[in-house]
């Protein structure tokens, strides 16, 4: 807008000066010219002169009859008055035409000047009016915090986290400023995939506590205005679920659970087709009692439900109703792209031409095939839409019930289809965040832009930098860049998902094969380190005492703690009595990554970050810089150096109305706040990210 105003004003000025210059050479009454031109009359130049002169001129002309051009020697004194103009303005028909055109041009120029001035003023007024802000739902405003329940807080000394433990830490969640919590599965489960193998969808596993503990946690969260999101695992159950136990018993018509799972006859003594499990190896397991094979797209202990069976659909809908009635605020839908398979189970999946085999792998890998028979079927989308409609019914009755789907896929169009069907699908782009070499600046821009530019109107973005299936962000990008990564997560437009512990920069722990618990890794002993998800699931680091406050001293936690917990934990990063007793620590604490996280949560509440647009201002091999703007609010520039050496760039832009200097709002090291930074030559250290702002709030 300021650009438009400036351009209009400059243009108006140029036009005005041009006009004055022209009329200097053509001294006629502008208003008369306008009137005449508007009436469309033929007129003489004398008509525009003062009356007496005009009259004299008329009589003179009559006297001169057909001689319209006099020599100066014959003129009397009065004629002399007219001489200069008559000399310059011969009343030949050519000149009359020329005058008419010139005066019509005057009219146009005047109109242009007025239009430009009006446009300029409108632009100025517009730029100081606030941008309309849509009503945002809670899940659009909130920072959503993912808790892996086994690893957050143990309350009963068994070395495994539980619901009471989480409730004990609700103060901490409030202190962080997060407004919603997503719990990985807490339902009854034999824990082959740590809760993602459910044996009862409507009961709590005793490891985590009781239904009363759940109710109490939900109440505690709601009491503090926090929402609770549960993990819904619809694609498969545990092989211990009574549905599967019954289903695998027989294929008799009389068996009501006969079709609850995906069963098929074998072929040539082997499985029905070539399908491969996500965890490697065949996706089929033989059951003698039915003399048939069942499908499992994950572990053999996780048989796939048959969503072509109406009873399964009805049951799963009832599961959602059960938790909605209890008052949960939303669901994260696990592995949904695998829900429905082709009706004809004899079809093979085609080989993936881009797959490069790894000689170290003993099992056939999921990536070796393409998956048109088992993923993203139209029937799958139909089921998701049904569930969304169900949640919408509940939203209408009270508070909004939120739904996000988990889909790992390379095809943006596929992801955007899921994104439209639920409130959102996870955006995993930032799991590919890089640092150091390999042009992380440009790369980050591509990751951000590819999501933003593929969204269609009305869709809401979200960002993930870590979860229970991927290495921790501080390990992936390096601890030096973890702060910048958190800044990116919280300052981009949309909803950020924070994985527990990332707010203090927790890193992957080394977990030996003997200590490994993840079945996916245990099934692949040769390559367990590349497969295991245990390193990112280790216990939360609360303090420097034995077991870091996660569980009692002397207890063996279900996974080993990272040995850096003595120096990297919530307590050393907080203002506690320890900091008071040891001023040295206290001086250090205000700049901790935990405080940075809290400051970011606060900053994100600023309307520019909630509603503002993003512009990719600069990306170089190492730098990624974007601005957030909202009319009527200050503009923010976020610039980060993800490379390995310091870099100086100019962020000043006259054209955009950006200043030469701007005030620092926040930096990754929290050491320059309040300073004025020279945007013409701003140096960023490796891993450094700064947020500066300018402009005033008008509303």
Task: Mark 392-411 with x for binding to ligand GLC (rule: CB under 6 A) and - for no binding.
Answer: --------------x-----
Segment 608 to 627, residues that bind ligand GLC, using CB under 6 A:
none
Query: Closest by alpha carbon to 335, among 419, 425, 416, 399?
Result: 425
Select 194 or 550, whichever has its Cβ closest to ligand GLC: 194
Measured CA to CA, the distance from residue 388 to residue 419 in angstroms comes to 12
Q: Is 335 in the site for ligand GLC (CB under 6 A)?
A: yes
Alpha-carbon distance of 231 to 388, in angstroms, equals 15
Give dist(CA 103, CA 666) in Å, integer. Answer: 59
Residue nearest to ligand GLC (CB): 196
Query: Residue 531 or 562: which CB sits closer to ligand GLC?
Result: 531
Touching ligand GLC, residues 449-468 (CB under 6 A): 468
- CB 497, min distance to ligand GLC, A: 13
Secondary structure string (H, E, C) spanning 117-128: HHHHHHHHHHHC
**How does DSSP assign 494-557, residue by residue?**
SEEEEETTGGGT--PPP--TTT---HHHHT-GGGHHHH--GGGGPPP---SSGGGGTS-TT---
Count of residues engaged in binding ligand GLC, rule: CB under 6 A = 9
- Provide, rounded to whole angstroms, the least separation between the CB of residue 358 and ligand GLC: 21
Considering only residues 154, 162, 167, 193, which one is a binding residue for ligand GLC as defined by CB under 6 A?
193
Q: Which of 321, 325, 323, 320 is nearest to 398 (CA)?
A: 325
232 is an interface residue for ligand GLC by CB under 6 A: no
CB of 604 to ligand GLC, least distance (A): 26
Q: Is there binding between residue 688 and ligand GLC (CB under 6 A)?
A: no
Tell me the catalytic residues: 334, 406
Binding mask 276-315 for ligand GLC (x = CB under 6 A): ----------------------x-----------------
What distance in Å separates the CA atoms of residue 12 and residue 248, rounded to the nearest whole number? 83
CA pair distance 24, 88, nearest whole angstrom: 13
Shortest Å distance, C-beta 555 to ligand GLC:
25
Q: Of 186 and 233, which CB lies nearer to ligand GLC in the complex structure?
A: 233
CB 370 within 8 A of CB 411: no
Using CB under 6 A as the binding rule, whether residue 334 contacts ligand GLC is answered as: yes
Taking CB under 6 A as the rule, does residue 536 contact ligand GLC? no
**What's the closest the beta carbon of residue 238 comes to ligand GLC, in angstroms?**
10
Per CB under 6 A, does 196 bind ligand GLC?
yes
DSSP state of 351: B
Question: With binding defined as CB under 6 A, does residue 229 bind ligand GLC?
Answer: no
The reply on whether position 469 binds ligand GLC by CB under 6 A is yes
Using the minimum distance from each CB to ligand GLC, give the nearer residue, 233 or 312: 233
Shortest reach from residue 408's CB to ligand GLC, in Å: 7
Question: Per residue, what are the HEC states of 29-78?
Answer: CHHHHHHHHHHCCCCCHHHHCCHHHHHHHHHHHHHHCCCCCCCHHHCCHH
* 146 close to 196: Cβ distance less than 8 angstroms: no
Question: In the numeric block, which tokens belong to residue 564?
Answer: 């850096």
CB of 405 to ligand GLC, least distance (A): 11
Compare residues 483 and 533 and give the one whose CB is closer to ligand GLC. 533
**Among residues 257 and 520, whose Cβ is nearest to ligand GLC?**
520
Task: For 226-281, give the DSSP string.
Answer: -EEEEEE--SB--TTSHHHHHHHH---TT-TTTTSB-EE--BTTB-SS--B-TTSS
| Nearest alpha-carbon partner for 236 in 320, 186, 296, 284 | 296
**Which residues contact ligand GLC (rule: CB under 6 A)?**
193, 196, 233, 298, 334-335, 406, 468-469
């Amino acid at each position: 807008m300021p650009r438009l105003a400036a351009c209009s004003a400059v243009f108006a000025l140029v036009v005005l000066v041009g006009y004055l210059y022209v009329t200097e050479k053509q001294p006629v009454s502008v208003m008369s010219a306008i009137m005449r031109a508007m009436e469309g009359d033929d007129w003489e130049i004398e008509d525009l002169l003062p009356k007496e002169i005009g009259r004299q001129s008329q009589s003179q002309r009559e006297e001169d009859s057909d001689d319209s051009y006099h020599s100066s020697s014959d003129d009397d004194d009065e004629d002399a008055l007219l001489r200069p103009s008559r000399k310059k303005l011969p009343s030949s028909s050519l000149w009359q035409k020329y005058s008419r055109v010139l005066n019509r041009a005057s009219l146009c120029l005047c109109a242009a000047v007025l239009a430009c001035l009006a446009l300029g003023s409108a632009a100025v007024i517009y730029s100081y009016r606030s941008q309309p802000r849509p009503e945002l739902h809670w899940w659009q405003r909130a920072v959503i915090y993912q808790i892996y329940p086994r690893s957050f807080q143990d309350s009963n000394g068994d070395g495994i986290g539980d619901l009471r433990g989480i409730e004990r830490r609700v103060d901490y969640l409030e202190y962080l400023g997060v407004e919603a919590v997503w719990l990985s599965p807490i339902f009854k489960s034999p824990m082959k995939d740590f809760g993602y193998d459910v044996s009862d969808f409507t009961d709590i596993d005793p490891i985590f506590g009781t239904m009363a503990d759940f109710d109490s946690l939900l109440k505690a969260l709601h009491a503090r205005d926090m929402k609770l999101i549960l993990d819904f695992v619809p694609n498969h159950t545990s092989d211990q679920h009574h549905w599967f136990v019954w289903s695998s018993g027989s294929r008799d018509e009389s068996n009501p659970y006969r079709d609850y799972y995906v069963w098929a006859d074998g072929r040539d003594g082997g499985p029905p087709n070539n399908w491969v499990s996500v965890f490697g190896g065949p996706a089929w397991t033989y059951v003698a009692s039915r003399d048939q094979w069942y499908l499992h797209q994950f572990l053999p202990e996780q048989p796939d439900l048959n969503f072509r069976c109406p009873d399964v659909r009805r049951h799963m809908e009832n599961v959602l109703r059960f938790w909605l009635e209890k008052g949960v605020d939303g669901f994260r839908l696990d592995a949904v792209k695998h829900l429905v398979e082709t009706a004809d189970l004899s079809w093979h999946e085609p080989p993936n031409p881009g797959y490069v085999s790894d000689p170290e792998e003993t099992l056939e890998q999921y990536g070796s095939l393409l998956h048109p028979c088992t993923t993203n079927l139209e029937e799958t989308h139909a089921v998701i839409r049904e569930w969304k409609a169900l949640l919408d019914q509940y939203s209408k009755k009270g508070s909004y019930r939120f739904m996000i789907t988990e889909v790992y896929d390379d095809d943006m169009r596929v992801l955007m289809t899921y994104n439209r069907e639920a409130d959102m699908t996870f955006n995993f782009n930032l799991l590919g965040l890089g640092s150091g070499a390999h042009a992380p600046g440009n790369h980050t821009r591509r990751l951000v832009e590819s999501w933003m530019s593929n969204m269609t109107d009305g869709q809401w973005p979200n960002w993930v930098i870590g979860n229970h299936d991927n290495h921790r962000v501080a390990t992936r990008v390096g601890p030096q860049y973890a702060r910048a990564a958190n800044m990116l997560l919280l300052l981009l437009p949309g909803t950020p998902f924070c994985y527990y512990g990332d707010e203090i920069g927790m890193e992957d722990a080394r977990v030996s094969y003997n200590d490994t618990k993840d079945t996916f890794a245990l099934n692949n002993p040769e390559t367990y380190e590349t497969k295991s998800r245990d390193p990112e699931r280790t216990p939360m680091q609360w303090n420097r005492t034995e077991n870091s406050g996660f569980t009692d001293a002397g207890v063996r936690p279900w996974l080993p703690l990272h040995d850096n917990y003595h120096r990297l934990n919530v307590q050393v990063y907080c203002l506690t009595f320890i900091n008071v007793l040891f001023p040295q620590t206290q001086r250090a604490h205000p700049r901790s990554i935990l405080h940075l996280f809290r400051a970011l949560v606060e900053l994100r509440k600023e309307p520019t970050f909630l509603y503002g647009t993003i512009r990719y201002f600069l990306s170089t091999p190492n730098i990624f810089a974007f601005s957030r703007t909202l009319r009527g609010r200050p503009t923010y520039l976020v610039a980060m150096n993800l490379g390995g050496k310091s870099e100086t760039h100019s962020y000043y832009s006259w054209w955009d109305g950006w200043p030469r200097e701007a005030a620092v709002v926040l930096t990754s090291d929290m050491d320059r706040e309040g300073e004025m930074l020279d945007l013409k030559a701003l140096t960023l250290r490796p891993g450094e990210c700064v947020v500066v702002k300018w402009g005033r709030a008008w509303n």
